[in-house]
Structure 1
Amino acid sequence: MAMIPMQKTFTAFQGQRRLASGPAGEVALVVKRMPSRPDEPIIIFEDSTGRSIDFDLRGGDREVLARLATLMPPLPAETAESPAEPRGRGRPKLGVVAREVTLLPRHWEWLNAQPGGASVALRKLVEEARRASGDRDRERQARDAAYHFMSTMAGNLPQFEEASRALFADDRRRFTGLIADWPTDIRDHIVKLAYSDRA
Structure 2
Amino acid sequence: MAENYKTYTAFAGLRRIASGALPAVAEATKTVLDKGESAPVIVLDDETCRVIEIDFRGTIEDVLERLEKPATSHAGKSEPRGPGRPKLGVVAREVTLLPRHWEWLNAQPGGASVALRKLVEDARRGSESKDRVRQAQESLYRFMSTLAGNEAGFEDAARALFAGDRTLFAALIRLWPKDLRAHAEKLADGAFAQEPSPATART
Q: TM-score band, normalised by the shorter chain?
A: 0.7 to 0.9
Correspondence 1:52-131 to 2 at 5 A: 52-59=51-58, 60-69=62-71, 93-131=87-125
Cα distance in 1 for residues equivalent to 2:96 and 2:175: 53
Q: Answer yes or no: is the 8 Å Cα contact 1:57–1:64 preserved in 2.
A: no
- TM-score of the pair, normalised by structure 1: 0.80
Q: 1:28 aligns with which of 4, 26, 29?
A: 26
Would you identify which runs of 4 or more consecutive aligned residues in structure 1 move more than 4 Å? Answer: 70-73
Q: What one-letter code is carried by the residue in structure 2 that aligns with 1:97?
A: V
Q: How far 1:5 moved relative to its partner?
A: 4.0
1:39 — aligned with what?
Answer: 38
Q: How far 1:70 moved relative to its partner?
A: 5.4
Matched, 1:175 2:175: no
Q: Using CA pairs below 8 Å that are at least 6 residues apart, which structure has the higher relative contact order?
A: 1
Q: 1:11 aligns with which of 9, 29, 39?
A: 9
Q: What one-letter code is carried by the residue in structure 2 that aligns with 1:171?
A: D
* Partner SS for 2:9: strand
Are residues 67 and 56 of structure 1, via their aligned partners in 2, closer, same or farther at CA, if it must alter by over 3 Å?
farther
Q: What one-letter code is carried by the residue in structure 2 that aligns with 1:53?
A: I
Q: How many residues align?
A: 179
Structure 2: 5+ residue runs without aligned partners?
A: 76-84, 197-203
Q: How far 1:7 moved relative to its partner?
A: 2.8
Cα distance in 2 for residues equivalent to 1:25 and 1:72: 19
Q: What one-letter code is carried by the residue in structure 2 that aligns with 1:65?
A: L
Structure 1: 5+ residue runs without aligned partners?
A: 74-90
1:166 — aligned with what?
Answer: 160
Query: How many percent of aligned residue pairs carry the same amino acid?
Result: 57
